[in-house]
Amino acid sequence: MSVRLVMLGAPGAGKGTQGERFAREHGVPRIATGDILREAVQKGSELGRAARAVMEQGRLVGDEIMIGVVKDRVRRADAAPGFVLDGFPRTVIQAEALDGMVDDRTPLVVVDIEVPEDVLARRLSTRRICSVCGTTAQSNDVVCLKCGGALVQRRDDNAAIVLERLQVYEQETQPIVDFYRDRATFRSVDGDQTQDAVAADIAAAVASVLGVRS
């Protein structure tokens, strides 16, 4: 099944976990902006050098660089059958640019994983990240089940700043949701369920969209 899927959701909503699962089950790459930025920097491409210069100054990478990095990635052969985007778009400018990157042969499906704020806060305050491979774990374990690396709490996952992060997300991301909401290819799913239930709802949402044009 050819699919182009954009995953939206607040920190802690599970879009990374669900995006990786959906991509694996459908044989398409999960394109996470953090991963492809690091790759571009490591390769020393023109965009990578520009991104490194921005990040070394402690600033966020802007629309122009992010759009260029994503455009390069979705043009690779492995993304021809489709892809799952995680972390892009984050601005309306990026969303408009994404429309220009894809053709009309396969709809661009947008799924927003909705989770109540109190649930998100609880998830983030207990979330652990592997210090080696970056895998996210919702447990009190100290070892990553994927690679054996040590699980640690992210500095920005402590309770003091979790609510602030969620408020910033709401302010910055609502325009993206509004940009897509009226499209026939937009779906919302309930993220306050088991991972299997959320995955099933996402699969059903995508299946309901295929063949529908925005």
Q: What percent of the chain has pLDDT over 90?
A: 43
Q: Is the pLDDT at 214 greater than 80, yes or no?
A: no
Separation CA 7–CA 13 (nearest Å) = 10
Q: Which of 61, 20, 69, 66 is nearest to 43 (CA)?
A: 69
Rounded to an integer, the average pLDDT of 174-183 is: 92
Average of per-residue pLDDT values in the chain: 85
Residue from 90, 123, 128, 187 carrying the catalytic annotation: 90
Confidence of residue 35 (pLDDT cuts 50, 70, 90): confident
Residue from 15, 21, 128, 187 carrying the catalytic annotation: 15
Active site residue 15: yes
Residue from 146, 154, 181, 213 carrying the catalytic annotation: 154
pTM recorded for the entire structure: 0.79
Separation CA 206–CA 74 (nearest Å) = 19
Rounded to an integer, the average pLDDT of 152-158 is: 60
Domains for the chain: give ranges and CATH numbers: 3-209 (3.40.50.300)
Separation CA 41–CA 33 (nearest Å) = 12
Q: What is the pLDDT of residue 211?
A: 63
Q: Which of 74, 100, 79, 70 is nearest to 2 (CA)?
A: 79
Separation CA 48–CA 37 (nearest Å) = 7
Measured N-to-C along each axis, helices 63-74 and 92-101 cross at an angle, to the nearest 10 degrees, of 30
Q: Which of 43, 15, 27 is nearest to 195 (CA)?
A: 15
Q: Is the pLDDT at 82 greater than 70, yes or no?
A: yes
Active site residue 154: yes
At 35, list the tokens: 């991963």
| Terminal-residue alpha carbon distance, the chain | 18
Residue from 4, 21, 73, 127 carrying the catalytic annotation: 127
Rounded to an integer, the average pLDDT of 37-63 is: 79
Active site residue 90: yes
Query: In this predicted model, which residue has the larger pLDDT, 186 or 173?
Result: 186
Rounded to an integer, the average pLDDT of 22-46 is: 88
Question: What are the tens digits of pLDDT across the range 108-140?
Answer: 999 999 998 888 888 777 777 777 887 777 656
User: Is the dihedral angle over the CA atoms 125, 128, 131, 136 positive or is it negative?
Assistant: negative
Q: Is the pLDDT at 41 greater than 80, yes or no?
A: yes
Residue from 38, 122, 165, 183 carrying the catalytic annotation: 165
